[in-house]
Amino acid sequence: MGLFDSLSKNGIKNVSTSGMYAKTDTTIQMSGNEKFKDMYQDTPQFDEDSMILLKKYSCPVCDSDFQSPTVKTGKIRQVGIEKNLKPIFDFRFEPIKYEPITCPKCGYSVMARFLTPLTSFQRKMFIESEDYSFVAPGGLNNKVVSYSLAVTKIKMSLVTAIIRKAKASEKAYICLKGYWLCESYLEALDRGEDDGSGKNPDEVRPEIQADMEEFSQSAYDGFIEAMQSERYPIAGMDEPTLDFLIAEMSVEREKYDVASKLIASILGSNSASSRIKDKTRILKEEVLEAIRNKKNSQ
Ligand SMILES: [Zn+2]
């Protein structure tokens, strides 16, 4: 099983996440993640359609003009933030569903923040790739994007990024958003929401769980590579924010040595905000306790 197996029906073959960064890590078991699942138990369903507008884009590969749904600015309120820095929005709305943009003609897919003109070389790499003979996924022209379609579009964005040899930070950013999207997807399934896949939720859940773990691991590997090879801001994050994200993901993987180093660096930094330092102190306590528990159980 690989992350892109589900894309074979969309004409994508032979692309894999292995080797997408210069260094690849081994698989590490993930531990559970704190959720805000019960925070808005009584929130009524809201009209997602009214939050969305269709925006015009021009494809940087085939030059065709098309429309893609995007979230209206100022329409949706952030109400909190999860421990892993994932923002939480009112009405459990998940704007990540609207980040990937897919050209309906050639299938070029990209996260909105990375939609920039391409060099002729990048364009050529995409056009001539034998691994991408695009078959449009169902619902591509709908205004409201289902979770099932959003996962397909975000995977296509990752395939596109791999084909045009995007920077590690771009691929890691896509994987981070994929990881968060899958978290929201699983929560939506738990609430009984229609995911647009037409499949039984019990059939979908293990697939999304597997995708989530692969996205998470690929985000972790990619950001570690990016922090060693790129200049800040990395995927829009300053050094303390990225350090915190990697520290938190390291704790999930019980890599306490990596986490401790990053925590020390954030707490000693002049540029870190008090908000990120406060979060880091909480994470530090968690690391110290985990190390104590580990010693006691030996
Ligand atoms: Zn196109």
Residues 82-114: tens digit of each pLDDT: 988 999 998 889 999 999 999 999 999 999 999
> Reduced to 3 states, what is the DSSP secondary structure of residue 89?
strand
Instruction: Write phi, then psi, for 163 (nearest 5 degrees).
Output: -65, -40
User: 117 C-alpha to center of ligand 1: Å?
Assistant: 12
Identify the residue whose tokens are 């590579």.
225
Local structure of 81: helix, strand or coil: strand
CA of residue 265 to ligand 1 center, whole Å: 43
CA of 128 to the centre of ligand 1 (A): 13
Quote the ligand 1 centre to 132 CA distance (angstroms).
12
**Beta-carbon count within 10 A of 148 CB:** 22
Separation of CA 131 and ligand 1 centre (Å): 16
Ligand 1 geometric centre to CA of 61 (Å): 5
- Lowest average pLDDT, out of 36-45, 67-76, 146-155, 163-172, goes to 36-45
Distance 47 CA to ligand 1 centre (A): 30
Q: Which helix (H) or strand (E) holds 277?
A: helix 274-296
- E strand map for the chain: 52-58, 65-71, 78-81, 87-89, 100-102, 109-111
Q: How many angstroms does the Cα of residue 153 sit away from the middle of ligand 1?
A: 14
Residue 271 has pLDDT above 60, yes or no: yes
> Residue 96 C-alpha to ligand 1 middle, in angstroms?
21
* Span from the CA of 74 to the centroid of ligand 1 (angstroms): 29
Can you give the pLDDT at residue 23?
Answer: 60
pLDDT of 230 > 50? The answer is: yes
How far, in Å, is the centroid of ligand 1 from the Cα of 3? Answer: 23
Q: Please state, in angstroms and rounded to a whole number, the distance separating the CA atoms of residues 2 and 55.
A: 32
Do residues 7 and 155 lie in contact, with contact meaning Cβ atoms separated by under 8 Å?
A: yes
CA distance 119 to 40: 46
Burial class (CB in 10 A: 0-12, 13-18, 19+), 226: buried
Instruction: Give distance in angstroms: CA of 127 to centre of ligand 1.
Output: 10
Kindly tell me the burial class for residue 164, based on how many C-beta atoms sit within 10 Å of its own C-beta (0-12, 13-18, 19 or more): buried
pTM confidence score: 0.88
Cα separation, 217 vs 171, whole angstroms: 12
Question: In whole angstroms, how far apart are CA 158 and each of 28, 31, 169, 298?
Answer: 21, 25, 12, 42
Query: What is the reported pLDDT for 17?
Result: 86
Residue 102: name the closest of 51, 31, 159, 47 by CA. 159
